[in-house]
Chains A and B, each alone.
Chain A
Amino acid sequence: MLHTFAVYVDNKPGVLNRVASLFRRRAFNIESLTVGHTETPGVSRMTVVVDTDEYGARRLEAHLYRLVPCRRVDNITTAPSISRDLALIKVAATGNARTHVMQLVDVYRARIVDVSPESLVIETTGTEDKIDSLVEVLRPYGVIEMVRTGRVAMARGTTPVRPIAPRVPPRAAPDVSGDVGNCSV
């Protein structure tokens, strides 16, 4: 099934690459990945959607925590949450078609953000289902170009599940010299 993770990472060069590389290395297929700033300076938030089972999701979470720049991972798949996708759709619309398209835009509570003699650009946000459906009804008129952000998601309610983990001095490595002694042979 599709699992949605909210991943908080330090905003440093190469972090996106580390996360993407982890998914590739462990043979997980990313359905969607978005990244942007958060309310905490220096911390970015990724929304990653991946198709895997329960065990896979848990391992993925553990692997993400092994990344040094990773500060927090929330699997919000089953939590009550809001998820949204934003799309810009350029549709061929002249003559009568233009009126029909504008009616559809109204029905879907989308907006027209650019008008040219040959085409319209429609902006819409919503769940992926809603956008898929809008694209389907527009398709007969001729979709010239489309761009989508991919899913962003947030759990409902007022408090985050867990705070972003602080940076602390590392735990001392286990003392392995005690009982056996280094160079015991």
Chain B
Amino acid sequence: MKLTGAQILWESLVREGVTDVFGYPGGAILPAYDAMLAYPIRHVLVRHEQGATHMADGYARATGKVGVAIATSGPGATNMVTGIATAMMDSSAIVCITGQVGSKLIGSDAFQETDITGITLPITKHNYLVTSAEDVAPAVLEAFAVARGGRPGPVLVDITKDAQQGSSEVDWAAAEPHLSEAYDEALPGDGDARDAIELITAAERPLILAGHGVMLSGAERQIIELAERAQIPIAVTLLGLGGVPASHPLNLGMMGMHGEAWVNNAIQEADLLIALGMRFDDRVTGNLKTYAPTAKKIHVDIDRAELNKNVRVDVGIAKDLREALDEWLPLVKPGDRAAWLSRIDSLKGDSAVRDIQNLPDDGHLYAAHVINDIWRLTKGEALVVTDVGQHQMWEAQYYKHNRPRSLITSGGLGTMGFALPAAIGAKIACPGAEVWVIVGDGGFQMTCPELATVVQEHLDINIAIINNGFLGMVRQWQEFFYDKRYAATPIGGPNFAKLADAFGIAATTVTKRGEVAGAVEAARRLKRAALIDFQVEQEDSVYPMVPAGADLHKMIRRPSPIVETAAD
């Protein structure tokens, strides 16, 4: 039986197990939309195509499934670019379907024509331009295999209007994807399990650096087993939060620019770093010349191109992390590293207790109060989606994630406006989860029209705006490094509660610390979306901080009078 290209598209998606897509219709994708109604697909109408990509991204990160976004040609496709780049940087498996002008019009500067495969070439794992109905199924099925295979990432399939309208028989068996197996081959010079175990056994001050790859490969159990058996403490990256329970005694906390001081100091004193599914981003290493000067390094990453990219390693293993750890575990000898663990305890010293949340109520509302209360009241079990900036770092510091995939945030690209749409995707993927958006007043204003999507889809998500009237992180850099010249960082905004009200979302404004808990509880009780505008201290900063490019152990600490000391 012949199917149209549009039908083949949906049939392919259904065969891939897709149940939800995020999109926005338009001229060149109309045939696909017309065919969609006959398939068991929930289509979420977004308010901007960037939102569709972030939703697909949030959906993918919450579940490990592939997220799907769909848009028309031209501006619909170019609006997806930021979301695609975000997914690329954070290894998130999404497939973007775009309509394209008819194949005869390609190259003619036709209405709403844009070279989206050319534009997205460097920010996708791969992309396809499909110009005939018979090519639709092979391209779409291969797109899913590429998106979820190896290091996950975004794939774009651009389908011309005539390919959607044309008809073809489909041989589904022949359309099954076949990819080059070369990628999985070990290359000469690759390290193996024995090399790694040798270094681990010999190390006196080893440290595991756990990244996003722990969750992407499903190695949560293995990493704990390794740490417990060999008594190796663990530091996590921003995207690694939740991969190792925050409450685990060997989990030291987050590393890097706004990581815990003792974690950064431990990295600098370690004699072995075991980097698992992380990529030595400049935000976690600081100055590479002085990074972990006494440590040998083992690096396991499924993407060989990450090995020896930023940090030279002694053993580099290009492999799925869980497979690698499954090989290691039978060889790991029980270790006793009490001296090293107690050394790290002593590094904690006066910085171990973050007492900003325990300060007396003096009328000041700090973001830390808000996030700490949300953590306490949700018992640390919410699925939190954050944007980019100060609130994102405070969330990472004050919300203790014990479960994998319970924090979704834009790490690599640092995309403002990510949180609200990503949370919509996560909520649709996990309808039973308590979803909290924690977002700054700047980032929220970038994608707040998606509030209409929240309402139209009847989603029960809670939105906490950390509103300090500034583009806070940039303001902080201006305070520290540009002599407090606040160029273009003071940002006004609407009355967020009234804005939410206009969308039909319950909203409150909180200005005092004593009101935080009540507002959070009220939002949790409400069985529909709620927004809270937390008007916090305007010029608070995130501490500690490693200035960009500085040595990892040279951190700016919180000045008095708000001192982070155990004595407070």
Residues on A facing B (Cβ under 8 Å): 13-14, 17-18, 21-22, 25, 55, 58-59, 61-63, 65-68, 70-73, 165-171, 173-180, 182-185
Number of B residues, CB within 8 Å of A? 58
Interchain CB contact (< 8 A) of A183 among B125, B303, B430: B430
* Contact partner, A185, options B185, B220, B430, Cβ 8 Å: B430
Contacts of B182 in A (CB 8 A): 65, 70-73, 165
Hey, which chain A residues are within 8 Å of B121, CB to CB? 17-18, 21
B180 touches A70 (CB 8 A): yes
Residues of B within 8 A of A66 (CB): 125, 150, 183, 303, 305
| Extra inter-chain contacts (4) besides given A169-B177, A176-B216, CB under 8 Å | A68-B126, A170-B179, A180-B218, A183-B430
Q: In chain A, what residue has the closest Cβ to B383? A: A185
Q: How far is the CA of A124 from the CA of B406 in the complex (A)?
A: 65
Please determine whether B304 and A184 come into contact, CB atoms closer than 8 angstroms. Answer: no
State which residues 114-167 of B face A: CB under 8 Å.
117-118, 121-122, 125-126, 129, 142, 145-146, 148-150, 152
| Stretch of B60-68, B441-449, B460-468 on the interface side | B60-68
Q: Which parts of B161-199 form the interface with A (CB within 8 Å)? A: 176-185, 187, 189
CB distance from B467 to the nearest CB of A (A): 26
Cα A169 to Cα B176 with chains together (Å): 8
Closest chain B residue, CB of each to CB of A21: B121
**CB–CB B181/A165 < 8 A:** yes
A140 and B478 alpha carbons, distance in the complex (Å): 61
State whether A178 and B218 are in contact (beta carbons under 8 Å apart), knowing that A68-B180, A71-B180, A171-B149 are contacts in the complex. yes
**Contact yes or no, A185 B122, CB < 8 A:** no
Q: Which residue of B lies closest to A65 (CB)?
A: B183
Q: Scan residues 427-464 of chain B and give those whose CB is less than 8 A from a CB of chain A.
A: 429-430, 432-434
Question: Roughly how many angstroms separate A73 CA and B185 CA in the complex, as a whole number?
Answer: 12
CA separation between A68 and B218, bound complex, in Å?
25
A6 to B: closest C-beta gap in Å: 13
- CB <8 Å contact, A182 and B181: no
CB distance from A64 to the nearest CB of B (A): 9
Contacts of B307 in A (CB 8 A): 58-59, 62
Given A61-B187, A66-B305, also A168-B405 (CB < 8 A): no
B532 interface hit (Cβ, 8 Å): no
Q: Which residues of A are found within 8 Å of B405, using beta-carbon distances?
A: 180, 182-185
Contact status A176-B122, CB under 8 Å: no
